[in-house]
Amino acid sequence: MYDLLGIGIGPFNLALAALADAVPGLNARFLDAKPAFSWHPGLLLEGTTLQVPFLADLVTMADPTSRWSFLNYLRAHDRLFPFFFAERFHIPRREYDHYCRWVAEQLPSCRFDAPVTALEWDDAAGAFAVTHGGAAGPRRVLARQVVLGVGTRPVVPEPLRGLLEPGRVLHSADYRAHRDTLAGAGDVTVVGAGQSGAEVLLDLLRRQDGEGHGGPYVRWLARSAAFAPMEYSKIGLEHFTPDYIRYFRRLPEAVRDRLVRQQWQLYKGVSGETLGEIQDELYERTIGGGEPRAALHPATAISGARRDGDGYLLTCRHTEQGADFTLRTDRIVLATGYTAVRPAFLEPVADLVDWDDRGRYRVDGDYRVALDPRVTGTLFVQNAEMHTHGVGAPDLTLGAWRAATILNAVSGRTVLPLPARAAWTTFGAPAAAAPADRTVPTASRSY
């Protein structure tokens, strides 16, 4: 009988495992189907950096004294001085992946090669029954509280779903495994205006030689009206604070859904540095009268796609002009994001979950999923609650804070104290508005 069992070991459940490691008497286990920890391996490209500062590691924003901090990782690898002299606030993405693997490999609560096949509610035991695989075959364990951290799955636009083929039409999640093949194609189209699309485009541009020859012709398509930078102002970033989560949760569902769509630039934009590097590559191609072997098409939606000889014919529509046109390309990379999905192992308890009218979890302030009253155990969720908690759900900035919130709820006490206020911004109307008749006497006014 475990006090806490986590399903999935991505950065968010790994953060929970790391923080839980310091809680005496808490019997925890975390399971993952993969053979070892890996974080977006298809986009671990040289030169790419994390979009959040290194302080947004697994633990620091909740417990900077933890042995599982990024700074302690550097110390363990004799790299504190090189890191200090590098003066880097944003670390290489490959380094973040290596840091997480370092933590996962040392935590005794983490088990890999353990795919979960079923989650059930056992009335007799008063606990969840979790069936998972492993080297010794299927095993059934009990847990009073379960945390779902199964991550998200790649989104593939409907017109392209029937065309997926390794090395030819693929999601950016698989890009690194096929980058050499794609670099040898004559024409590659990248779909999606986020950071992943920008990094794939930049990587392919750099496969062209200095004169712009060799390598593929690269095309960038996006439905958004512009290839826009991610919001990264000091006050704007306060949308990624507990304060904003508390405000967002109190809004009506229709308002929350509208805000998430409108706030795409908070979490789907491109870093200004990456956009600058793309501009620099294109500018270099014009020296001596040259032309870039690239094209950028915002406000473009793909309405149809079909195989055309050794390539593909895309039917597109410019969303602002209402004009239709076609493009032919040899290969397609879909940098079209990710979405939360309901895992198959959840089916045995699906009828016990109080889904909203769109089939999404109802999640409270401590990340508990609403369940049938006869279930006395607790089910938590991580990174499947954007509709209830806002744009910070997938962001690493809030990972340690959310894990600490869940850990306090699991423990039934304050294991890790959390700040009552973290933002300067007052989201929503002030708690006590000034009286309407509060005026300044004429004699004392100054202009």
Long-range contacts of 241-244 (CB under 8 A, 24+ apart): 241/392, 241/398, 241/422, 241/423, 242/398, 242/401, 242/418, 242/419, 242/422, 243/421, 243/422, 243/423, 243/425, 243/427, 244/390, 244/392, 244/423, 244/425, 244/427
Q: Can you give the pLDDT at residue 136?
A: 85
Q: How many domains is the chain built from?
A: 2
Instruction: Give the model's confidence band at 211: pLDDT under 50 very low, under 70 low, under 90 confident, else very high.
Output: low
Q: Which domain holds residue 39?
A: 2-153+338-411
Is residue 254 one of the residues assigned to a domain?
A: no
Is residue 46 one of the residues assigned to a domain?
A: yes
In this structure, the answer to whether residues 37 and 165 fall within a common structural domain is no
Q: Can you give the pLDDT at residue 443?
A: 35
Residues above pLDDT 70, as percent of the chain:
96
Q: What average pLDDT does the segment 68-94 reach?
A: 97
In the predicted structure, residue 144 carries a pLDDT above the cut 90: yes
Is residue 288 one of the residues assigned to a domain?
A: yes
Residues above pLDDT 90, as percent of the chain:
89
In this structure, the answer to whether residues 143 and 291 fall within a common structural domain is no
| 301-335 pLDDT tens trace | 999 999 999 999 999 999 999 999 999 999 999 99
Q: What is the mean pLDDT of the chain?
A: 93
Is residue 24 one of the residues assigned to a domain?
A: yes
In this structure, the answer to whether residues 284 and 176 fall within a common structural domain is yes
Q: Can you give the pLDDT at residue 440?
A: 35
| 119-137 pLDDT tens trace | 999 999 999 999 999 888 8
In the predicted structure, residue 56 carries a pLDDT above the cut 90: yes
In this structure, the answer to whether residues 21 and 105 fall within a common structural domain is yes
In this structure, the answer to whether residues 74 and 22 fall within a common structural domain is yes
Q: Can you give the pLDDT at residue 210?
A: 61
Is residue 249 one of the residues assigned to a domain?
A: no
| 10-28 pLDDT tens trace | 999 999 999 999 999 999 9
CATH number of the domain residue 399 falls in = 3.50.50.60
